[in-house]
Chains A and B, each alone.
Chain A
Amino acid sequence: MEINETQKIREKIICLEKVSYNYQNDISALSEISLEIVKGERFAIIGANGTGKTTLLQIMNGLIFPSKGRVFFKGSEISKETLKDKGFLSFFRAKVGYVFQDSDVQLFCPTVLDELLYGPLQLEIGEAEALDRAFEVMEMLKIEPLKSRPTYMLSGGEKKKVAIGSILTINPEVLLLDEPTNGLDPKTQCSLVELMLALNEAGKTLVIATHDLSLVDELQATTAILSEDHQIERVGSAMNVLGDQDLLLRVNLIHEHIHRHGDVTHRHLHSHYLFHRHERE
C-alpha cells in the first residue's frame, strides 16, 4: 500500500536532521545524516565495518549526542538537556529499546528471570503482571528452563535471546537492534528473523544495524546504506538497494572473489549472499 506524504509526516517516529558525530572531536563517525523512520516500519542501516552504524543507533537511543544536527522522537528533541527531565526520560526509555551487539555488556542482573523483570519493575508495573510478562516472553523465546541461571553461564545465542527478552518485557514501541544475527548459528538466526517479523507484525518499529545483506533481504526492510565517508549513500527499499551491484561495490559490501572448482579457477562478485552466483547459473 502506498503511504502518501501527509500520512508519512504524521507517523514519523524517529527523525534525524543533518546529524554529524566526531569521536575525540576529530575522527568523523557520521557526516550530515538525515533520516526519517515511520511508525511500524522495518528499517535497516547497512554499511561496511566502521561506517558508523552503531554510532547512529546509539544516537537514536539518546546514549550519545550529535556533534552537529538534531534528533527527534515523536516530534520531541532527544538531547542531553531533554533527557535530564524525569518525565521525558521515562517516556523515551519505555518507548525505545536497544539490543546491544555484545549481549555481555547488556546483561547485569543475577539471573535470567531478574534480567527480564528489571524493566517492568522499573516501570512500576505490579509484581504479578511483571512476572506474567517475564514468563510469557520466556515461553516465546523458549528460554524458560534457563530462568534461574546466571547470565554468564549461557551460550552466545541464549544470551542474545535473554538480551532481546529483557527489552521486550518493557514493551517498547521501537526496537533498535545492533547486528542482531552476529555470532549466532543458522537455526538461531532463522528463529530470530521470524521473531523480528512477528514483532513487526504486532506493530513494533524495527531499526536494525547490520552488514548481513541476507537479513535485510529476509526482512524486506527500508534500507539506508552508509558509505565509508560516513554519509548516507541511498535510502530505498531492500530490493532497490540490494539489486544495485555498483552501489554495493562502491560501499564495499560486495567484492570480487576468486576461487576454484576442481581445476577451474574463476572470479565473480561475492557478498556471501546475493551475488555468489556463477556465470553459467
Chain B
Amino acid sequence: MEDLIPSFLLKQDSPDSFQLKGKRVRTPFLEKGMEHLGEIVKIAYAQWNAASKEGVFQKIDARIKLLFLLFFMTIISLKKDIESEIWIGLLVLLLMALSRLNLLHLYKRILLFGMVFGFLVALPSALNLFKEGEILLPFLSFSRSYQLWIYSLPETVGVTREGVYGLGMITLRVVNSLSLTFLLLYTTPFPEIIRALKLLRVPDTFLMVITLSYQYLFLFSKTVEEMHLAKRSRLLKEPKSKEARMWLAGRMAFLFRKTRLRADEVFRAMVSRGFSDTIKVYQVKTLQPHDWIAGFSFLCIGSLLLWK
C-alpha cells in the first residue's frame, strides 16, 4: 500500500499559516434553509418537553382536548364579530399560561404564520377593488371608474372600513386556529393524539399515514442535517448561490430515491412483523372526573360564545 501512496500526499502543499482576509463568508439563503430543516428535531423535543410539564391542559385526557379543538375551531369559523375572536384568543392565551408554556416563543411563531397566511393573503381585500365600502384611506384617484370584463376599477381606490374589519377577522381567525393547534400539540404527546384519534373512530389508514409521516420527518430531518454538514466540511470557499441550487437539486433527487427505498423497506419490515391494517390500542384509560369537568366547562364557554 505504501508504494502506491501518490507523491502529492507525501508533501504538504497548502500553506502552514493563513492570513485573515477580513472578508466574511456569506451563507446563501438555501444553505440557511437546510440548517433550519435540521431543527425539526429540536421543535419536536420542545413539544415533548412542554407536554411532559405539570400544567392544567397537560392533565386533561387527549380525547377531551381533541373535541375541544374541533368545537372551538368550528366556533372560530362561525363567529362573524371581532369581539368573539378576541375573547377566544384570550381564552387560549390563558390556557397556555396555565399550562406553563413558553408564551413568547409560541406567540412569535403563531404571529409570524398569522401574518403570512392571514394578514398578507387577505390584505388586498381591504381595498375597494373587490367590495365597495366607506373609504378610510384613499390611494389612487382616476377621472372616472373603469370596467374590465368582470373587474371594476372605482374612481377612487383606497382602504375601506369594511375591508379593514374583514382583514382583522381573517387574521384573528388564523391566529386563533393556530393558537388552538399549538396548545394541543405542546400539551399532548404525539402517541396520545393518535390514540385519541383512534378512540374517536378516525380511520386506521389515515392514522397510519400520519404516524409514518411523522416518524419519517425525523429521519428526513436527520439525513438533511448530515448532508448539510458533509457539504460544509468539504467547502473550501464561500458557497455560491448557483452551486447551492445545483447541490440542492441533486440532493433532492437523492432523497427522493432514498425515500422510495426506505418506504419499501419499512413496508417489508411491517409485513414481516404481521402487519394488518388495524391499529390496536391498549390500556384505554377511562375519563376521570377532572376530564369531565374540563369538557363540560369548555362546552359551556363555547356555547356561551356561540349564543352571544
Measured between beta carbons, the chain B residues less than 8 angstroms from A106 are 230, 234
Known contacts A86-B23, A91-B15, A152-B257; is A100 also within 8 Å of B1 by CB? no
Chain A 196-226 interface 0/1 with B at a Cβ cutoff of 8 Å (1 = within): 0111011110000000000000000000000
Nearest residue, chain B, Cβ from A204: B9
Interface stretch (choices A3-11, A116-124, A235-243)? A116-124
Within the assembled complex, what's the spacing in Å between the Cα atoms of A202 and B13? 13
- Indicate whether A278 reaches chain B with its CB closer than 8 angstroms: no
Query: Which chain B residue shows the least CB distance to A201?
Result: B2
A100 CA to B5 CA, complexed, in Å:
22
Q: Would you give the shortest CB distance from B261 to chain A, in whole angstroms?
A: 10
Complex interface: chain A residues within 8 A of B227 (CB): 105, 108
Question: Taking the nearest CB of chain B, how far is it from the CB of A106, in angstroms?
Answer: 4
One digit per residue, 1 when the CB lies within 8 angstroms of any chain A CB and 0 when it does not, for chain B 4-26 equals 11111110111111111111110
Q: Which residue of B lies closest to A82 (CB)?
A: B20
B265 interfacial contact with A, CB 8 Å: no
B283 at interface, CB cutoff 8 A: no
Question: Which of A28-36, A131-139, A154-162, A251-259 contacts its partner?
Answer: A131-139
A143: interface (CB < 8 Å): no
B10-A202 in contact (CB<8A): yes
Asked if A93 is at the interface (CB within 8 A of a chain B CB), the reply is yes
A199 to B5 Cα, complex, angstroms:
8
CA distance A202 to B18 in the complex (A): 23
Q: CA–CA, A214 to B49, complex, Å?
A: 40
Q: Does B46 contact A (CB under 8 A)?
A: yes
Name which of B135-143, B168-176, B246-254, B300-308 contacts chain A.
B246-254
A87 with B234: CB separation less than 8 A: no
Within 8 A of B (CB), among A127-186: 132-133, 136-137, 139-140, 152, 166-168, 170-171, 173
Report B229 CB to chain A, min CB distance, Å: 5
B42 at the interface (CB under 8 A from A): yes
- Decide yes or no whether B258 CB sits under 8 A from chain A: yes
Taken residue by residue from 244 to 273, chain B's Cβ proximity to chain A (1 for < 8 Å, 0 otherwise) reads as 000100110010011000000000000000
Q: Is B235 an interface residue (CB 8 A)?
A: yes
Check if A91 sits within 8 Å of B250, measured CB to CB.
no
Interface of chain A: mostly helix, strand, loop or mixed: helix
A88 touches B20 (CB 8 A): yes
B41, B227, B234 interface centre (most CB from chain A within 10 Å): B234
Known: A93-B235, A108-B251, A110-B250. Is A87-B21 also a contact (CB below 8 A)? Answer: yes
| A71 CA to B178 CA, complexed, in Å | 42
Tell yes or no: B152 within 8 A of A by CB.
no
Residues of A contacting B17 in the complex (Cβ-Cβ under 8 angstroms): 91
Contact call B230/A100, Cβ cutoff below 8 A:
yes
Q: Is the CB of B24 within 8 A of A94?
A: no
Q: Which residues of A contact B10 (CB under 8 A)?
A: 202-203
Task: Specify which of A64, A87, A194 lies most central, judged by the most chain B CB atoms within 10 Å of its CB.
Answer: A87
Interface check A245, CB cutoff 8 A: no
Tell me if B103 is interfacial: C-beta within 8 Å of chain A: no
- Encode B195-231 as 1/0 by CB contact (under 8 A) with A: 0000000000000000000000000000100110111
User: Do residues A102 and B226 form an inter-chain contact, with CB atoms below 8 A?
Assistant: yes
Interface size range on A against B: 35 or more
Report A62-99 CB contacts with B as 1/0, cut-off 8 Å: 01100000000010100000011111111111110110
A223 CB, min distance to chain B CBs, angstroms: 23
* Docked pose: A91 CA to B19 CA in angstroms: 9
A197–B235 CA distance with the chains assembled, in angstroms: 26
Contact in complex: B8, A171 (CB < 8 Å): yes
Q: Which of B1, B18, B45 contacts A26 (CB 8 A)?
A: B45
B46-A93 in contact (CB<8A): no
Cβ A152 vs Cβ B254 within 8 A: yes
Output the nearest chain A residue to B251 by Cβ-Cβ distance. Answer: A108
| B68 CB, nearest partner CB in chain A, Å | 29
| B237 pairs with A86, CB closer than 8 A | yes
**Bound state CA distance, A102 and B4, in angstroms?**
26
Answer whether residue B277 sits at the interface, using C-beta atoms and an 8 A cutoff: no
Task: Tell whether, in the assembled complex, residue A168 and residue B9 are in contact, meaning their CB atoms are under 8 Å apart.
Answer: yes
Q: Which has the most chain A C-beta neighbours within 10 Å: B4, B10, B15, B41?
A: B4
Instruction: Give the Cβ gap from A105 to chain B, nearest Cβ, in Å.
Output: 4
Say yes or no for B238: interface residue by CB 8 A criterion: yes
B226 touching A85, Cβ below 8 Å: no
CA distance A161 to B238 in the complex (A): 27
In the complex, residue of chain A having the shortest beta-carbon distance to the beta carbon of B27: A84
Q: Given A58-B229, A105-B230 in contact, is the A86-B1 Cβ separation under 8 Å?
A: no
Contacts A58-B229, A84-B24, A87-B20 known; A94 to B5 CB distance under 8 Å? no
**Do B4 and A140 touch (CB < 8 A)?**
yes
Tell me if A49 counts as interface (CB < 8 A to partner B): no
Chain A residues whose CB sits within 8 angstroms of the CB of B234 once the complex forms: 93, 106, 118-119, 122, 166-167, 170
11 residue pairs bridging A and B, Cβ less than 8 Å apart: A26-B49, A63-B233, A84-B24, A94-B236, A104-B254, A118-B234, A152-B254, A173-B12, A198-B4, A199-B9, A203-B10
- Contact surface of B with A, Cβ cutoff 8 Å: 1-2, 4-10, 12-25, 41-42, 45-46, 49, 223, 226-227, 229-238, 247, 250-251, 254, 257-258
Given A100-B226, A203-B10, list of 10 further CB < 8 A pairs? Answer: A24-B41, A63-B233, A86-B21, A86-B237, A87-B18, A88-B18, A105-B223, A105-B227, A136-B6, A171-B13
